[in-house]
């Protein structure tokens, strides 16, 4: 059996159920390449689980998953994953491979950045349109800008996730993402992301030193939000409770949220 | 201090961090009216936390929150919430009231039905448009149908949450939601939700007896998915990996996902 277990957003974000399942597993793997788990203490986690945790990278999971699958054929394998397990395509692939090999699979859910970032900013989840990822300039994509335009036309909020390359030790910061989005605005000008657009930066969601800051894009770009992970929210039409929440919890000025 | 702590989707869905914060709190409240936590064992949770958990209802939280706020002024109050804390508007209100009273607030995130339902069905989170709630017929709303139409026009998936009235012991089942949606289709005919539309029912997400079933709406309506909570997903355009996942994990027939 192969059990995907969400680590949530924070070093102690695993659920009691997830911990119990990992404790009962014969082998425990963890992938830490699809997202960052703030303050993850791998040694501490191993102690809680009571067995070693083998960290695997994208190449292993996507190209050489045989060790994982063979172990899951004969025993119980826990596969720890940042956030909620199936948000990344790579985990759906692994689960499909397991199913095709006749291996039972199971998911233990964890907190995910989507609802967390919305909640930290005081924005309502059901008013978010589709989300998108801002990718690094060497792998350019217009999708985040096009998604933003589409959502804005409908008054919806947009969550922009920021690219990560764990092996290279790179995780995009909000300032880089803003620069890329401003570049897309210049290229495909639809007035959806300018220095005057209201946006929210959420840094290190789920941790004790999370920062949530709403301001004009031009000002946010100049601020230092500390270490990653960062995400960017571009609000659509604000309900008055959302406007109030942005002032109280994200330090937005009155004129920004009117 | 007032700490909102997500209980996730399952009786043991609270995170290690959430448990630790609840253990350190002077008073622990829980609201169980915004959503159902499958298999929640309140006695067991009290034992884990090491102190009694006071269950509060909507009236208390929205109209008489003074006990909670006064306790949070002088001590540390944990407020347990199904799923991820700020998804329900009522919690944003309470957090705003606390902030206005000079009380520090904090959020410990939990798994939420949005990413969980998508993941269980093998559908990609970023391909979901906005979500909506199907409300009971005595409080009718066209919003879920209009949301579905809007998302379908863009090829996006739609998550439909189902209404709950905890105090009356009512939680909408997928069959009721389908009936309501078919009624809206008749009233506002846009060919978005007919007996032939592909949909997915996710019952008891996060629990060991979760059911995930993709089929035509007309067939899903006749099936018994057991106790709530249920949600409904209406897929938009399927990527071939999503189509494969619906076959393998949601028992969809080949012709349904082509």
Alpha-carbon distance of B112 to B87, in angstroms, equals 8
Same domain (yes/no): B61, B147: no
| A244 and B CB contact within 8 Å | yes
pLDDT attached to residue A88 = 87
Element (H, E) at B183: helix B174-187
State residue A219 phi and psi, 5-degree precision: -80, -40
Q: Which residues of chain B lie closer than 8 angstroms to A126, CB-CB?
A: 130-133
| B240 and A CB contact within 8 Å | no
pLDDT attached to residue B169 = 87
Q: Which residues of chain A lie closer than 8 angstroms to B93, CB-CB?
A: 241
C-beta atoms of A125 and B131 within 8 A: yes
Domain boundary among B65, B91, B108: B108
Closest CB to A119 among B107, B111, B127: B107
Same domain (yes/no): A97, A223: no
Give contacts of B 94-113 with A, CB under 8 A: 95-96, 99-100, 107-112
pLDDT attached to residue A167 = 84
Residue ranges of chain A with per-residue pLDDT less than 50: none
Same domain (yes/no): A132, A242: yes
Same domain (yes/no): B130, B246: yes
Q: Residue A147 maps to which CATH number?
A: 3.30.950.10
The count of domains in chain A is 2
Structure-block tokens of residue A237: 């039409």
Same domain (yes/no): A210, A131: yes
Same domain (yes/no): B68, B120: no
B41 is in which domain, residue-wise? Answer: 2-108
Cβ B39 vs Cβ B10: under 8 Å: yes
Same domain (yes/no): B118, B243: yes
Domain boundary among A60, A75, A108: A108
Same domain (yes/no): A168, A228: yes
Q: How confident is chain B (258 residues) per 10-residue block, as mean pLDDT?
A: 97 97 98 92 96 95 95 98 93 96 97 97 96 96 98 97 92 98 97 98 96 98 97 97 97 93
Structure-block tokens of residue B46: 């009290």
DSSP states along B34-87: SS--BT--HHHHHHHHTS-EEEE-HHHHHH-THHHHHHHHHS-EEEEESBSGGG
Same domain (yes/no): A59, A182: no
pLDDT attached to residue B167 = 83
Element (H, E) at B147: helix B143-153
Same domain (yes/no): B88, B55: yes
Domain boundary among B66, B81, B108: B108
């Amino acid at each position: 059996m192969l059990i995907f277990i969400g680590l949530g957003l924070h070093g102690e974000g695993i659920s009691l159920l997830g911990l119990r399942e990992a404790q009962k597993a014969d082998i425990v793997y963890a992938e830490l390449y699809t997202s960052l788990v703030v303050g993850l203490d791998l040694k501490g986690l191993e102690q809680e689980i009571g067995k070693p945790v083998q960290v695997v990278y994208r190449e292993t999971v996507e190209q050489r998953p045989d060790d994982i699958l063979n172990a899951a054929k004969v025993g119980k394998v826990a596969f720890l994953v940042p956030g909620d397990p199936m948000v990344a395509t790579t985990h759906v692939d692994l689960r499909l491979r397991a199913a095709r090999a006749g291996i039972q699979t199971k998911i233990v859910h964890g907190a995910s950045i989507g609802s967390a970032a919305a909640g930290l900013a005081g924005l309502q989840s059901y008013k978010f349109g589709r989300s998108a990822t801002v990718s690094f300039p060497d792998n350019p994509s217009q999708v985040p800008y096009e998604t933003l335009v589409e959502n804005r036309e409908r008054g919806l909020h947009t969550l922009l996730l920021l690219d990560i390359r764990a092996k290279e030790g790179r995780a995009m910061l909000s300032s880089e993402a803003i620069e890329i989005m401003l570049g897309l605005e210049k290229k495909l000008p639809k007035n959806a992301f300018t220095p005057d657009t209201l946006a929210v930066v959420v840094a290190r969601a789920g941790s004790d030193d999370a920062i949530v800051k709403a301001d004009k894009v031009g000002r946010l770009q100049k601020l230092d939000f500390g270490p990653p992970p960062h995400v960017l929210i571009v609000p659509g039409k604000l309900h008055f409770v959302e406007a109030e929440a942005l002032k109280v919890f994200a330090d937005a000025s009155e004129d920004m949220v009117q």
